[in-house]
Structure 1
Amino acid sequence: MATTTLNYENFYKEDPSLKDEELFTFYNKFDNVCGPHGQNRNVCNEEDEYSSVDNSVKDLYKNLVCNLKILKDNSSHYFHGLNSDKKKRCLYLRYWFYDRVVSKKYGFSEVNKYFETWDKIGKDISEECECKFVKIGRNEIYKLKQMYDAILLYGKKDKFEKLSKLKYCYNIRNYYIVYGLQEGMCSENDDAFCNEIKEYIKEYVDENVLDSLSCTTAKEVIELTEEERKTVEWLLRVNPLGPKGQDEASSGMQGSSSHTVIGIFASAFGLFLLSLILYKFTPFGPWISPRMKNYQRMWNKIIGKNYGSLLDNSESQQIESDNIRYNIAYHSERNS
């Protein structure tokens, strides 16, 4: 599922109260670590250290290294008076880094160039600072950024009433869904991406958040990637619904006003989406790996008692990719 990844500025311009929070102060300190005032000249002027870094990513690379060096230096006064908790500072630094990648619109090439050098030079610095940055892919960075948006900007339920009326409410809600799906997939995975979710994100997420957060603003249009689009086309061709579901779907599709639509809330597409369909709607369910229980748990949260479907009963969700729109008939017999 391709849901829009926004940068930090989008959020605090829509909700200025975010500027009053600790994250905003740290973000600006990180962003100006090598600013014109020369406060950190001793660590920012070591240009020879960055000679091997590609020019397209050099500024961000230099800023991250300098921030890590200052965080490690207990004698530095740059962050004086701010929260001294090392894990919280690392959490904010990660958010700042991923947000800069998103804001600069780095593609796969830039991200790869960044980490090629990082693995050779910068990795040791982050380990010494107890704030490890390891190589992950561009898509993983965008997913992590979305999860951090959810927990750091609107991770407390007392913010939900205000959030429900804001422009980006559905973005945050979708980001919580992204987290739930990824967390389920990571239960048996220990790669760098999954470890970050477990170490820095999971403890801040309330599992019942989807029951508490409702949005009154316009829904975000969900865009399918090319691979997701092909998967959906395949699913529509084979129509893996039971006999009753097929009859109901055929009946429902006779008129556009009676379509029941499912939004494809899945950031893990392809095999996962197919497995989910097999698990819920066909006799092959018992043959699917036990890890599907994690997906099922999240799926139930999304379409549970408060969400009979992913959509309000009176509305249809539009799924758009390359000007192609899909209405996917969906009916499920629930266990009594």
Structure 2
Amino acid sequence: MTTRINTFYDVANAYTKYKKELDFYKGENTPTYIGNCDSFKNQHIADVREDSNLICNSVMKYLNDLIGKNESYKDEGCKYLFNWLHVDVLKRKTTIENTLILYRELYKRFNEEGLNILSNYTNKINENTSDKLVKLIHIYDTFDQFEKEFQTTRNTEKCSNDCISLFTSYLHECRTGYDDDFCNELKNFRAKHNFFIKNYLSCDGEKYLLPDVENSDIVGMVTIPFILILVTIFILPLLYKFTPFGPWFRHKMGKKEIIWDNINKETHIFSNTYKHGGNNSKNLNYNIVYNPS
């Protein structure tokens, strides 16, 4: 399998450990002394029949635990928290924007003392990155379920899975957008998926493999002109020097130079003649005879 590319969305491939922590804190009944959750209310949490106070406490414990982790863990942990709120708590029943508001409200309660310990990490989450993060975690989770099913059944002939349709839809977003990290994470996922299909399943045919992330048409549009330029640079001097093309080209160019020289001379003569004619016309005296009435 190819070497993994580091991206903004690395957590998508390692989300399970953060999910376990949040699920664990949600299932705990021990009180917390981080932040003020007693008065916390959120309509979107209420709409999915979750306990706002419980969710708040779970997040406070989770964020408090992140403080003692390394930089990478803090970064990925804060990113995954958004996904957990949107998918596990709110069940995707509200918009990314509303989940982002909830995410920031909860962090504001955690950061009541203004220490901003995790602010550098939480501030990386915005509408664009959070939406793509949710999509990437979803496709990795879908693949994990497919892989677990294989480990249980050992059915090597089940080749189709939902990852193919998800990947295709995300691929269009990658090719029409400007997020290199999103595209690179799709490359990472493609490598993982195709490695599993090729090495563990009896699946023949390209239809079971995910396509290249790069658009072959775009690559061709960039590559072909570049090749033509290189060919012109290296081939043209050889043609000029070692084939009849050189003398023919010089002959043609010589004729054009003679023609242009003649045109320039004629233009110069005409211009001078016009100037002299104009000056003489100014010096003419006209005698006009009037008939007496």
TM bucket (normalised to shorter chain) is: 0.3 to 0.5
More helix by share: 2
Q: Which of 1 and 2 has greater Rg?
A: 2
- The TM-score normalised by the length of structure 2 is 0.41
